[in-house]
Each structure stands twice: as C-alpha cells, then as structure tokens.
Amino acid sequence: MNPPAPGSARNVRGHIVFAFALALAIYIVWLLRSLLALVYVSALFAVILTPVVHSTSRLHIGRWFPFRRAGAIFFLLLLVAGALTGFGFLAFPPVIRDLQTVQGELPNRIPALLVHLREIPFIDRLHSAQVIGWLQGSLSHAAGTLLLSLTDWAGAIAQVAVGFVLTLYFIIEGEASYRWFLSFLPLAPRKRLDATLRRAAGRMEKWLLGQASLMLILGAVSMIVYLSLGVRYAYGLGVVTGLLNIVPVLGVTVSIVLAVLVAAIDSWGRVLGVAIFFAVWVQIESSWLIPRIMKNRVDLPALGIFVALIVGADLGGIPGAMVAIPTAVLVAVLLDEYFVRQDAA
C-alpha cells in the first residue's frame, strides 16, 4: 500500500483546520449575536438616515454652508430635541391637570363607583372591605413587578443609548468603513458588490420617504378626527399616532388602544367614533396607500413585506420590526443580483 502523497496530507490538514476555524467562528458569532444584531440595526439606521444628513449639509445661505457633516447631525439632533420639548409642553400639562383633578375627586367617587359595581351580577356579593383589599393587593403586585422589571428597563435603555451612539458613528465614519470592507475583495467583485449595495441603499431611501409620508398622513388625519370627535388631548394623540406608525402593525395597535382608552373617559360614542375611524383607516392604508406609496418604492410584494415584518418582530422585537422592510429590500437586491440574473444569463 502506497503512503499518501505529501500534498494530499497537507490538503487534509488544511480542511480539518478550516472546519475547526469555521466552527469556532460560528460559536463566537452565536455568543455575540446580541451585540452583532445591535451593530447591524445601527448600521441599517445609519444607511437610512444618511441621506437626511446629506440633504441637511447641502443647505446654504448664499455661499455659506453652515451645516457640514458633524454640524448637520448636531442641527438635526437639536431639531428633534426641540420638537420633543415643544410636544411635551403642549401635551403633558392637560394630562397632568386631569390627573390632579381625578386624584382630588377620587375619594368622593369611590362610593358611587361601588354602587354601580354592585349592580353587576355576582359583584353585589362583595363588600367594600373586600374590594379595597383586592385593589391594595393588585397595586402591591403591580409595584413589585415594576421594581423587578427596573433592571430590564435599565438594560433596554442602555442598549438604545449604545445603538444611538453607534448610529452616529456609522453616519460620520460609515463611508470610510464601507471602503475598508470592500478593499478585501478583488476589483471586479468589489465593483459589482458596490453597485448592488448602492442600489439597495437607494431603495431604502425611497422606503424612508414612503414611511414618512404614511406617518404624516396618519398623524394629520387622526388629529382632525380626534378634534372633530372632541377627544381629549387631540393634538398629542395625533402626533403620537403618527410617530407610532413607524413600527408596523404594532404601532397602529398601540395607537388604537391608547385612543380608545382616552375616548372612554368621556363617552362610549367617542369610543365608537375612534373605532370606526381606525377600521376605515386600516382598510384605506392596506388597500390603497401602501400599494401606491410603499410597494412602488421598495418593489416588494405585499406577502414578502408581511413575512419580513413577522420574522423581524420575532427575531428582534420592535427594532427588528422597524428594520424588517429595509432588510428585506437588501436581501431582495442581493438575490436579484447574484442568483436571479445569474440564472437568467
């Protein structure tokens, strides 16, 4: 029996080393999956927001360009902070005033509330002491749950802060990092991948414009409906409804629950009006607005968008749902460039 050739033995050892290195790399990626997901989400937000920064940096007064790269980011942050501050001054005082009124009138309203509760079957068997004991136990349990969840909230806030800082760094240094990444590829594949990724970035920019249009339309229309129905905090609710629309499906759901709860303070007629508005809005948005604003911009089928939202929400929660459609756009462009066109050729 002839001994194996030296070159064959080196190839076997090379394959074994490569297999171990691949397994180690997969294990490291698995350990760092949360951090890598945060980096990916931050990079994707940077890709989406970079055109906004570029547009701001092109603003000029004569020949003077006051907002360069870092200046444009600082100006946008000040603009967002000012908008949030103005919203707080307009939206919070009515809420605080009503809460103080309710707190002052609550001792006088409890007896009347208990009288109404006793009119409900089986509730009339409860005594005031039992109801008060149940309320105290519920409040104690809620307070305990809130204290236990403070650690989770602190971790979530820290992740948001880290993601925000990473997004800023990607916006400022993203182009240099992108060029460094492409430098590892040979010239021909580098040019092809560069053209593909820039095409995907262009479609993501169109998605951002479409999403901003939907948010603006929903915020304005809902504010008009709230004002016409006489719902409390109509301006604040309209702004919140428009902003929450950035989170697909879940944002509209939270807006509906919030608006119904506020409308229920005054009358069931307002609740019915809010419910009818959102029922009509969901139909108009899904059948008319999204196909014309979103589908034509991202060039994805409705089923693909829906599946992307489900997968993104399951893998990454709210941030995953927010970047689900841009990720689907990126995947679609890569598949079209490296698989569909290759098969067609």
pLDDT tens figures, 282-337: 888 777 777 666 666 667 776 777 778 788 877 777 777 778 888 888 888 888 88
For residue 104, pLDDT over 80 is answered with: no
Greater model confidence, 129 or 171: 171
- Which of 281 and 12 is assigned the larger pLDDT? 281
| Neighbouring-strand partners of residue 64 | 61
Instruction: Give strand pairing partners of 61.
Output: 64
Q: What is the pLDDT of residue 204?
A: 82
Average pLDDT, the chain: 77
Share of the chain above pLDDT 90, in %: 3
The full set of domain ranges for the chain reads: 36-184, 186-345
Q: Report pLDDT for 176.
A: 83
pLDDT in tens, 105-134: 556 665 665 565 555 555 555 555 555 556
Quick check: 44 and 326 in contact, CB under 8 A?
A: yes
For residue 11, is pLDDT > 80? Answer: no
pLDDT of residue 221: 92
Task: Give exposure, 23-40, as e/b (b: 16+ Cβ within 10 Å).
Answer: eeeeeeeeeeeeeebbee
pTM listed for this prediction = 0.69
pLDDT for residue 225: 92
Higher pLDDT, 199 or 133: 199
Round to the nearest angstrom and report the end-to-end CA distance of the chain. 48
Please name the residues in contact with 345: beta carbons below 8 A apart, sequence gap of 6 or more.
Answer: none
Residue 224: per-residue pLDDT:
92
225: phi then psi, degrees, rounded to nearest 5: -65, -45
Q: What share of the chain is helix, strand, coil (3-state, %, to 5)?
A: 85, 0, 15
Q: Radius of gyration over alpha carbons of the chain, in Å?
A: 27
Residues 187-194: what's their mean pLDDT?
89
Inform me whether the pLDDT recorded for 85 exceeds 70: yes
Q: How confident is the model at residue 182 (pLDDT cuts 50, 70, 90)?
A: confident
